[in-house]
Amino acid sequence: MSINIEQAIIHEISLDSQGQMACRLRPQPLLNSQAVEAMLEELHQTYSSKAGKGFGYFGVPQEDGEANDAFANALQSYRDGDTGFVDFTVIASQLLQQELAKYDFSQGGFLLMSCYSSMASEYLFVALLSAKSSMTVLDDMELSQNNHLDLNNIQLAARIDLTELQADKASKKYISFIRGRAGRKVADFFLDFMGCVEGVNSKAQNKTLIHAVEDFVAGSELTKDERQQCRDKVFEYCAERADLGADIDVKDLADELADQGMDSFYDFACGGNYELDEEFPADKASLRTLKKFSGTGGGVTLSFDGGHLGERVIYDPISDTILIKGVPANLKDQLDRRLKGE
């Protein structure tokens, strides 16, 4: 296993017979059975691989006045040993119940909370899971309908890096969370119950890094191939950091580029021309533009490796056209068939 589970528990928050939100609380932690280990391992992998996560911290949104610090205080009490794990999660469940009661759309769900460690960090994972219906065939070949937790489609989840919180309380990225399909506002209530404020906009930081890289290679005396090698090196470094769940370190990245003969990137990127933090989480979706060009519009979708620009792919901004030399075989076959048919 890639994680070491310390504690885990599940409480249910659902509508009662009067249509009010109510908690059904488990009185003790889950046993560290094989089922629990498999579930948390799957959730850890699924969550870690989610692209476009947001990052925040316990704080006060300036426009809202006082923050909801009850969750942060309860967490600190648990970390200090003054509150047990179960009591801490009961407080969290009641806070979430109160938050959910403000909204008409919520049906509740199963609140999973777990403390576990992975690599050199300790985490608190918080997720509101939904149940999904499925059919199974029994031994007598009868059908039976069952409900199971939908682990592959988690939409409301956050993970607190307890190690980073302990080491740097001024950090604004020790809480990561899944953004809703339509943006952060879909998950506002889930973050509000924890008193989480968005701190680092990782997507904006990654786009700023790309901008800095493009300006850096444009102002250099590198050849076309060397410029693409620089972009590839940046992407490889950042993708590796993303896979490890580690932050992009601009100084470390600059050292990597210096080993390839491309000096002074750190001074260029962090010298004041760009609003770039020295460390920030990687967003692989944004970084792909270092490797590929892609776009969709008007019924046309086009994607190609950046190294082909100016060679196999010729772009003419004046005539607003793109010429492709060497049409992919499968596309060529489709086009030839259509022309023969006409």
Domain range enclosing 322:
292-341
Tell me the backbone φ, ψ of residue 150, rounded to 5 degrees.
-90, 90
Q: What's the rounded mean pLDDT across residues 164-187?
A: 77
What does the pLDDT read at residue 7? 94
Query: SS3 breakdown of the chain: % helix, strand, coil, rounded to 5?
Result: 40, 30, 30
How confident is residue 209, by pLDDT bands cut at 50, 70 and 90? very high
How confident is residue 164, by pLDDT bands cut at 50, 70 and 90? very high
> Do both 196 and 71 map to the same domain?
yes
Percent of the chain clearing pLDDT 90 (strictly above): 32
> Do both 113 and 53 map to the same domain?
yes
24-49 residue pLDDT tens:
899 999 987 899 999 999 999 889 88
How confident is residue 116, by pLDDT bands cut at 50, 70 and 90? very high
Q: How many CA atoms lie within 13 A of 78 on its CB side?
A: 20
Q: Which of these ranges, 46-50, 135-139, 192-196, has the smallest mean pLDDT? A: 135-139
Burial class from Cβ neighbours inside 10 Å (0-12, 13-18, 19+) for residue 250 reads buried
Classify the C-alpha dihedral 19-22-26-29 as positive or negative.
Answer: positive
Tell me the backbone φ, ψ of residue 10, rounded to 5 degrees.
-130, 130
How confident is residue 65, by pLDDT bands cut at 50, 70 and 90? very low
Tell me the backbone φ, ψ of residue 129, rounded to 5 degrees.
-95, 145
> Do both 262 and 337 map to the same domain?
no
Mean pLDDT of the chain: 85
Q: Distance between CA 155 and CA 138 in Å, rounded?
A: 32
Residue after which a domain boundary falls, among 182, 200, 218: 200
> Do both 208 and 190 map to the same domain?
no
Is residue 173 within 8 Å of residue 203, measured between CB atoms?
no
> Do both 195 and 307 map to the same domain?
no
> Do both 106 and 22 map to the same domain?
yes
Q: What's the rounded mean pLDDT across residues 67-86?
A: 91
- Would you say residue 15 has pLDDT above 50? yes
Q: What's the rounded mean pLDDT across residues 156-165?
A: 94
What does the pLDDT read at residue 181? 57
> Do both 116 and 228 map to the same domain?
no
> Do both 162 and 25 map to the same domain?
yes
Q: Confirm whether pTM is higher than 0.85.
A: no
- Would you say residue 183 has pLDDT above 50? no
> Do both 13 and 117 map to the same domain?
yes
